[in-house]
Structure 1
């Protein structure tokens, strides 16, 4: 379908580690939604859905399918020659949507426990990472491909962002320890 084939999109060790990290995050967010205060449950369910989607996307490479469909539409509809303008508009729209999500999460979590606010920061970092990868700016791509101590900057940033959410969800999902 449009050049995209269902299958494992990133069969590398890194690809599997990141997919597993997103999946672990989704599981821990789900657990936090069951154990946290009532007011926090919707946030943890949102985080569960986001991380589960990103785990699946990491290996199915759905953004490539999206890109292939958009490219085919651009060619059929005759605006492929001006694709840069549309790409810039898409990235601007994506940035605005991500900023709105983060702002809403920040406003809604201002009275929540610190672990929720920490998870909001982690989600903001993940969305920023997704935006940077989607924008594919040459200088940023060059930086992300560099290595720090044998590990790509790209890998470090993605895993660190996930780790923030995972740690906060783990802490939020722990039993409170209170005896009744």
Structure 2
């Protein structure tokens, strides 16, 4: 008899469409739009480099944001974080610490929050002399990253929260879209710096 843990490629996970719902595909589309906006923001920043109003590193960060969002767009349906969760579950059962998994999950979540705060602080230092747009984008990336990794931890209380709804919309969707939205807004502001004369002399 096949154990349910061995039913997929990694535990219960196998490559496929992870979220075939309308909300799932809409999230994929929003990721794709945000990735394109960051790509365009990178191009816009590169145009401003000869004017010394944009540092080369800022252009690189916009490119990296576009790449990360492209990956997350694909991963939204590939659901690699579930594969990671399944691998950790199999490992915990093999090594005999599955019964204490809640304590490890709590430490993981606390570590994520602290790591996210540290990462945000470090990125703020790196982008200190750059535009407010890239600062906002990096903040959005940190929030999105902490949310995705916390969700992957399968921490019970967090799963219950993101599974609940407000006005018929699940918190899972609200939080993820909010993170993407912050990045997209930042990219839009950077594009405005180039295309709208009103913002030409503003450090946005």
* TM-score (normalizing by structure 1): 0.83
After superposition, the C-alpha distances for 1:42-87 in whole angstroms (9 at most, x for unaligned) are 3213322322222122101111111111111222222223222332
* Counterpart-to-counterpart distance in 1, 2:44 and 2:169: 36
Determine whether 1:101 maps to 2:119. Answer: yes
Q: Is the Cα–Cα contact under 8 Å of residues 95 and 131 in structure 1 kept in the other structure?
A: no
Aligned-partner Cα distance in 2 for 1:160–1:141: 18
Within 2, Cα distance between the matches of 1:79 and 1:141?
A: 21
In structure 2, runs of 5+ residues without a counterpart are 1-8, 46-53, 198-204
Aligned to 1:113: 131
Q: Could you tell me which of 48, 52, 59 is aligned with 1:41?
A: 59
Q: Is the deviation greater in 151-160 or in 123-132?
A: 123-132
Is 1:73 aligned to residue 91 of structure 2? yes
User: Contact (CA 8 Å) 1:91, 1:134: kept in 2 or not?
Assistant: no
* Separation of aligned partners in 2, 1:69 and 1:93: 19
Match of 1:25 in 2: 34
1:115-154 paired onto structure 2 within 5 Å: 115-154=133-172
- Give 1 or 2 for the bigger CA radius of gyration: 2
Distance 1:99 1:157, change over 3 A: same
> Distance in 1 between the 2:174 and 2:84 partners?
26
Number of aligned positions between the proteins: 179
More relative contact order in 1 or in 2 (CA 8 Å, sep 6+)?
A: 1
Aligned residue for 1:12?
Answer: 21
- Change over 3 Å in CA distance of 1:137–1:108 after alignment to 2: same
